[in-house]
Amino acid sequence: MCGIIGFVGPQESDALDVLLDGLAGLEYRGYDSAGIALANSPIDVHKRQGEVSSLESALAEADLASESVGIGHTRWSTHGPPSDYNAHPHTDAEGQVAVVHNGIIENYQSLRTELSEGGIHFESDTDTEVVPHLIAQGLDQGLEPESAFRQAIERLEGSYAIAAVFEGSDTVYAARHESPLVLGIGQDGHYLASDVPAFIEYTDQVIYLEDGEFATITPDHVRITDAAGETVETTVETIEWDAEDAGKSGYDHYMLKEIHEQPNAIRECLRGRLNELTGRIELEELADLTWEGPVTLVACGTSYHAAMVGVTLLNRWGVDARAMLASEFDAASVPLTESSLVVGVTQSGETADTMRALREANRAGATTLAVTNVVGSSAARECDHVVYIRAGPEISVAATKSFASQQAALTMVAAALSGRRSRELVQSLRSIADAIQQVLDTSCAREVAQAYRDADAYFFIGRGLHYPVALEGALKLKEITYKHAEGFAAGELKHGPLALVGEQTPVFALVTGDGDRAEKTIGNIKEVEARGVPVVAVTDGQSDVERYADHVLEVPALKGIASSVAANVQLQLVAYWVAHELGRSIDKPRHLAKSVTVE
């Protein structure tokens, strides 16, 4: 969701190339327009609705002066429809300053009214455009650029990551509040971005801005200050992956590449955390964690489904736990005390709803734990404890390997919190990577996708740990195919949803093992089969579900979490191949963003 790139280099550098590379590196976040501003005199601003390629075509026809300082942006619409005039950057009336912005300025309407009454004409529908006009007011009052920038930021309410360049200046100014910004420290210039992939090919040395901090970036200096203008001591961190890790590596889509990266992602997630001799989960990150009250997991989307897995295990192992959609979490509905533990599950570590819930928990005095993929993210920095899932960079909007790693990580967290010690559990976790690889090597998901690509709708059912996987299977399919899909606890199909099934609505049933859950799910399958509904069984062959299925997607015969993770891979592949058959934009599905940083 919305991407920022900024660059300040020596005079011989070419900011335009860096900005375009950065915008390309941010395409995965989801966007509907793109633009750049070069700090020439006057400022060169170019922006276009559509993909970065549309902007590049326009730039090829423009008469651009060489410049070593600039900012760029990919926009995901919040205020006003996708258009050239709503695209970022935005400028003041005189073209003195250009601004890019992620987030939402909540008081923009009152600011806009005030500025309009003062004679300012607005060119766009966005909340962002108030910012350059506020900065220009400061300049007209005789303030220096930095002071004018700070004065404008002080008037904003809401969430924002903002970067600005001034006419003829060699400096980029930036500020953040509840929206991520990271600086890249390079030998041939310095970088600013909403996410590391924007500049990872140039440098792996980064500084993460905290809420309320300002950055002043020149060709040879980076200065971080607080709201009062006092210098803040910062730490330069090293990113442990490179540009090649974030590439497609020969796959047609990032999603397919990331599905195939899951065995290695799981191995990384488990590395150094399992003791097969004692059956213990060894999460050093939680060694000093203490709490006494209930555990609440908060998350959104795919991460919420992973949270459901964690809660299922916690409850089984004697811990009072619940999963909540972060957007529904508030202190009134979930009373918190100093004995409470709130766990935020977020791939990016920047999800706005999840961050709001965690901040509310912090204010209430609860202990907070982040389960995230991104080192240095807001969740990682602001929570009392953090467990990294170690999935590596995930570029496709549709989450795949992060979900697998979240399931494994939350299984370990649940074991650590409950004090569970089990060699069988450790062996189950160890078996996941090989089980996924077996599914990848033998899956017939493409044939199933070809058989059902024209279905009217798709239903997914499962019990126990398979229930959140059924929800995730439906989410993945609807995300990238734009087809209707729903997931249900298998026993709930007969309580209403059965009215929707028919010959053109296949039911994907997750059935593993031969116990009570498998038998009951087979009973649910018989209910739909009797009504002429096609059935796809995801199974390990231990039950006789194949008798009632039109197609079978096989998984290895394993127990517990390993079985659910392997079954999910089959559903990921089905979603991918249905989308492929339909010619969808798999990595960048319409209307969606990778990191949702607005509530």
Instruction: Report the largest interatomic distance among the alpha carbons of the chain, rounded to a whole angstrom.
Output: 81
Q: Are residues 381 and 481 in the same domain?
A: no
Q: Are residues 333 and 476 in the same domain?
A: no
Q: Which residues of 147-160 are buried (b: 16+ CB within 10 A; e: fewer)?
A: ebbbbbbeebebbb
More confident residue, 243 or 339: 339
Location of structure tokens 């007969």 = 494
Instruction: Compute the Cα dihedral for 291, 294, 300, 306 and give only its sign.
Output: positive
**Cβ proximity of 374 and 401 under 8 Å:** no
Q: Are residues 336 and 436 in the same domain?
A: yes
- CA–CA distances in Å: residue 149 to residues 68, 145, 155, 163, 567: 21, 6, 10, 10, 52
More confident residue, 29 or 317: 317
Q: Which residues are catalytic?
A: 2, 594
CA angle in degrees (0–180, nearest 5) for 543-546-552: 115
Residue 206 CA to residue 235 CA, distance in Å, equals 8
**pLDDT (0 to 100) of residue 335:** 82
Q: Are residues 225 and 258 in the same domain?
A: no
**What is the average pLDDT across 146-171?**
94
In the chain, the number of structural domains is 3
Instruction: Compute the Cα dihedral for 576, 579, 581, 583 and give only its sign.
Output: negative
Tokens of 524: 């649910």
More confident residue, 338 or 346: 346
**What is the average pLDDT across 91-119?**
93
**What is the average pLDDT across 490-506?**
86
Mean pLDDT of the chain: 90
Mark which of 211, 227, 245 sits at the end of a domain. 245
Q: Are residues 534 and 566 in the same domain?
A: yes
Mark which of 245, 278, 297 sits at the end of a domain. 245
- Written as one letter, the residue type at 266 is I
**pLDDT (0 to 100) of residue 246:** 64
CATH code where residue 573 lies: 3.40.50.10490
Query: Is 552's pLDDT higher than 90?
Result: yes
CATH code where residue 12 lies: 3.60.20.10
Residue 64 CA to residue 579 CA, distance in Å, equals 40
Residue 291 CA to residue 379 CA, distance in Å, equals 19
Residue 564 CA to residue 570 CA, distance in Å, equals 10
Query: Is 62's pLDDT higher than 80?
Result: no
pLDDT tens, 295-310? 999 999 999 999 999 9
**pLDDT (0 to 100) of residue 188:** 87
**pLDDT (0 to 100) of residue 596:** 62
**pLDDT (0 to 100) of residue 218:** 94
User: What pLDDT band is residue 599 in, cutting at 50, 70 and 90?
Assistant: low
Q: Are residues 403 and 463 in the same domain?
A: no
Residue 275 CA to residue 466 CA, distance in Å, equals 26
Location of structure tokens 């209430």 = 364
Q: Are residues 471 and 423 in the same domain?
A: no
**pLDDT (0 to 100) of residue 63:** 66
Q: Are residues 37 and 76 in the same domain?
A: yes
**Cβ proximity of 508 and 478 under 8 Å:** no
**What is the average pLDDT across 313-337?**
90
User: What pLDDT band is residue 356 in, cutting at 50, 70 and 90?
Assistant: very high
Q: Are residues 467 and 506 in the same domain?
A: yes
**pLDDT (0 to 100) of residue 65:** 64
**pLDDT (0 to 100) of residue 304:** 98
Mark which of 196, 227, 245 sits at the end of a domain. 245
Q: Which domain holds residue 287?
A: 247-440
Q: Are residues 222 and 259 in the same domain?
A: no
Q: Are residues 279 and 208 in the same domain?
A: no
Query: Is 464's pLDDT higher than 70?
Result: yes
Task: Using a cut of 0.85, tell me whether the model's pTM lies above it.
Answer: no
**pLDDT (0 to 100) of residue 24:** 85
**Cβ proximity of 417 and 295 under 8 Å:** yes
Residue 357 CA to residue 303 CA, distance in Å, equals 14
Pairing of strands 341-346, 295-299: parallel
**pLDDT (0 to 100) of residue 434:** 95
Residue 348 CA to residue 121 CA, distance in Å, equals 37
Q: Are residues 240 and 257 in the same domain?
A: no
